[in-house]
Amino acid sequence: MGGPSLMTADIPRAVRSPVDPETLAQFSSSNGLYHCLFAEQFDRPIIERLIKLTDHLRALTKTKAGDDFVASVLSNKRAMLYFSQPSTRTFLSFQNACHILGMNTCEIRDPRTSSQMKGESFEDTIRTFASYVDLIIIRHFENGFAEHAARTLQGTHRPVPIINAGAGTYQHPTQALLDVYTMNRYLPGGIDGKTLMLVGDLQRGRTVRSLALMMRNYKDVRILFVSPPQFRMMPDILGALKDSGISYEETEDFEGALAQADTVYMTRVQDEHDTAGESRTVDIGRYCLRPEHLRFMKKSSIILHPLPRRDEIHPDVDADPRAAYWRQERNGLWTRAALMAVTLGIENILLERKA
């Protein structure tokens, strides 16, 4: 990470969900989205709009004429990718989504190259970025970082949109969006009434936190939290699900959960958040998906993973038709393009163009 830590009372030092309605309203606009900071900003109508636009974008760009049209609509806009945490997939996904929409991009991937190393405040840094670009996409190791950036720009002469591309252990809303899109695309009949199995380091995994919160938009969904005792899902998420009437169960029975699941969502150990190497004391081996486990699964189920993976999914599983994680990764490109199109107000322009 390398840069100075952002020490401010405005940054929450502990995770907390759900986000209160007043905060959500502050970061929304008449079209439903302005800043994209939390999974809670996505209600069912917005999700369905984004799914429709994602499918339309994919169809439009299959031809050169359609692709050229899409790339012309935002050709006068610029985006900043401020990724102070290591990233391959999310960075490339956002960068290429910007290019699909015709936006030029600039980037900072190491805070040591910014003026914060000279003592510039975080607030001045964000206002500097906003002076040059029309959209800022932020990935950071601290919880609440993107939210604080959005608050910093409120009331300034250039309150450009902020998109949270992953913050600490707290939120990863665009990953949850692409996960929902993937589940809706490949599960027979969609997500309603299905069972979602979340596996691994649930305590510190921002992807599973955001996805669990997103499930509150669907009917009769059931969630199986499968993890070692040390990596159980945090109480704030469990409380939010309970308040929303979402059925869930915490279990260490990996094989038993596989037989019930429509979606098997594997994750890696988030040891970058260790404080004293504590992950080494946790036995994660029996929570890894291997070819011999496939016989327990439904024929209609799908396997997802936010990637990168280590040994949570054996490479031989890739050949199984239920393994959808490489398609899931590809879907991120299109869902993020659709999200930015809505954020920047060109949704209708794209939908009016026939594929």
305 in catalytic set: no
Q: Where are the domains of the chain?
A: 21-172+331-352, 173-330
How much is the pLDDT for 273?
76
242 in catalytic set: no
Whose tokens are 């929570």? That residue is: 287
pLDDT of residue 9 exceeding 90 = no
118 in catalytic set: yes
Residues 6+ apart with CB under 8 A from 248: 222, 223, 224, 225, 238, 241, 242
For the record, the structure tokens of 274 come out as 């260790």
Q: Is 349 helix (H, G, I), strand (E, B) or coil?
A: helix
- Which stretch of 54-68, 104-118, 208-222 has the lowest confidence by average pLDDT? 104-118
- Which stretch of 19-33, 120-134, 186-200, 245-259 has the lowest confidence by average pLDDT? 19-33
Closest Cα partner for 199 from 154, 261, 147, 138? 261
- Catalytic pick among 90, 125, 195, 335: 90
pTM of the full predicted structure?
Answer: 0.91
CATH class of domain segment(s) 21-172+331-352: alpha beta
16 in catalytic set: no
For the record, the structure tokens of 273 come out as 């958040």
Question: What's phi and psi for 23, nearest 5 deg?
Answer: -65, -45
Model confidence at 116, pLDDT cuts 50, 70, 90, reads low
Residues 6+ apart with CB under 8 A from 7: none
| Domain 173-330 grouped into CATH 3.40.50.150 | no
- Catalytic pick among 139, 148, 194, 216: 139
Element spanning 24, H or E: helix 21-26
| Dihedral sign from CA coordinates of 313, 317, 322, 327 | positive
Whose tokens are 């990953």? That residue is: 175
Residues 6+ apart with CB under 8 A from 209: 15, 17, 39, 169, 170, 171, 172, 233, 234, 237
Distance from C-alpha of 89 to C-alpha of 86, rounded to nearest angstrom = 10
295 in catalytic set: no
How much is the pLDDT for 281?
78
pLDDT of residue 13 exceeding 70 = no
- Catalytic pick among 64, 118, 295, 354: 118
pLDDT of residue 84 exceeding 90 = no
Question: What's phi and psi for 260, nearest 5 deg?
Answer: -95, -20
Identify the DSSP state of 171. B
- Catalytic pick among 172, 206, 209, 336: 172
How much is the pLDDT for 14?
46
How much is the pLDDT for 270?
81
Alpha helices (H) along 199-253: 206-214, 235-243
- Catalytic pick among 58, 78, 89, 309: 89
Whether the Cβ atoms of residue 194 and residue 187 lie closer than 8 Å to each other: yes
pLDDT, average across residues 133-145: 91
pLDDT of residue 117 exceeding 80 = no
- Per-residue pLDDT of 299-336, as tens digits, reads 999 999 999 999 999 999 999 999 999 999 999 999 99
| Dihedral sign from CA coordinates of 53, 58, 60, 66 | positive
How much is the pLDDT for 118?
62
Say whether the peptide bond before residue 161 is cis (omega within 30 degrees of 0).
no
- Per-residue pLDDT of 152-183, as tens digits, reads 998 899 999 999 999 888 899 999 999 999 99
User: Three-state SS string across 263-330, please?
Assistant: EEEECCCCHHHCCCCHHHHCCCHHHCECHHHHHHCCCCCEEECCCCCCCCECHHHHHCCCECHHHHHH
Q: Provide the percentage of residues in the chain whose pLDDT is more than 70.
A: 92
User: 302: which strand partners?
Assistant: 263
How much is the pLDDT for 31?
67
- Which stretch of 21-25, 64-68, 189-193 has the lowest confidence by average pLDDT? 21-25
